[in-house]
Structure 1
Amino acid sequence: MQSIVTLTSLIAFFSYLGIGLALLIAAVVVVALVTPHRDFTLIRQGNTAASLAFSGTLIGIALPLQAAIAHAVSLVDAAVWGGLAALVQIVAYLLARAVVPGISRQITEDKISAGVLAAGISIAVGLLNAASMTP
């Protein structure tokens, strides 16, 4: 009987997971740095709008990262496409902020509608970003 999990597959799993997590963390840090409001501080203070917006950011970045990893032919391929996916999400966030200039202030003021809108934009762009990554 052949084992389903081999050492090679286990190494590949942890390698792709590591690339995905590294890109996710890097992208989230960049988004946190470009937002005028302080996501983590607001979330610690119980700000629901910030929590919703940040959750949307995480999902919006993770969706195309998943597609990049799923379609990758190598770790380098996954890293390049994953990095591009993260960059697209960051640009989408900046564009959304330009279209809705007061969104950061509204999130700081815990206006739930602003958090939901920010999350929705991130997730929608993430879905389109992911769907665009075809083998």
Structure 2
Amino acid sequence: MPAIVNYLLHLLTAAALVLVFFVIYVRVTPYDEVLLIRQGNCAAALSLGGALIGFSITIASALLHTLGYYEFALWAFGAMVVQVLVFAVTTSLLRMSKDQIEADNRAFGGLLGSISLAIGFVNAGCIS
């Protein structure tokens, strides 16, 4: 396969995976991040931004460390599952995420975003 086609295939797949992750993530959360962000809620932006960056770090690692397209897609999908599961477990343990995010508690949003980043880095390292 020509290099440009391979590049475009991987780029489009990675972008589609980030979009799918975004859609799943905002449906899993107990609050409407997009609405909250439109209203200027920084806590929601920090939480969602951290989740997107954390997942993207894992996608980048999968792109760098896998041998073929299907292996990349499989690892990326697995990483998506891990990111969503970690969010579910974290918010279950913290029990107050909905109230804290909706109240624009930036410290709490930063914590959720940082946890997502940390898991993204761990996920990325496990793929390498």
Normalised to the residue count of structure 1, the TM-score between the two structures is 0.91
Identify which of 7, 32, 46 aligns with 1:38: 32
Is the contact between residue 19 and residue 78 of structure 1 (CA under 8 Å) also seen in structure 2?
Answer: no
Q: Look up the match of 1:54.
A: 48
The Cα of 1:27 is off from its aligned counterpart by 1.2
1:97 aligns with 2:94: no
> Would you say how many aligned residue pairs link Structure 1 and Structure 2?
128
Q: Look up the match of 2:15.
A: 21
Question: After TM superposition, what 4+ stretches of structure 1 lie above 6 angstroms from structure 2?
Answer: none
Deviations 1:60-116 (A, max 9, x none): 111111111111211111110100011110001111101111012201110111110
1:64 aligns with 2:58: yes
The Cα of 1:29 is off from its aligned counterpart by 0.9
RMSD over aligned Cα, in angstroms? 1.1
Give the percent of matched residue pairs that are identical in Structure 1 and Structure 2: 30
The Cα of 1:52 is off from its aligned counterpart by 0.7
**Partner amino acid for 2:64?**
A
Normalised to the residue count of structure 2, the TM-score between the two structures is 0.96
Is the contact between residue 49 and residue 116 of structure 1 (CA under 8 Å) also seen in structure 2?
Answer: yes
Q: Look up the match of 2:115.
A: 121
Stretches of structure 1 that go unaligned for 5 or more consecutive residues are: 1-6
| Pair member with larger Rg | 1
Greater percentage in helix: 2
**Partner amino acid for 2:122?**
L
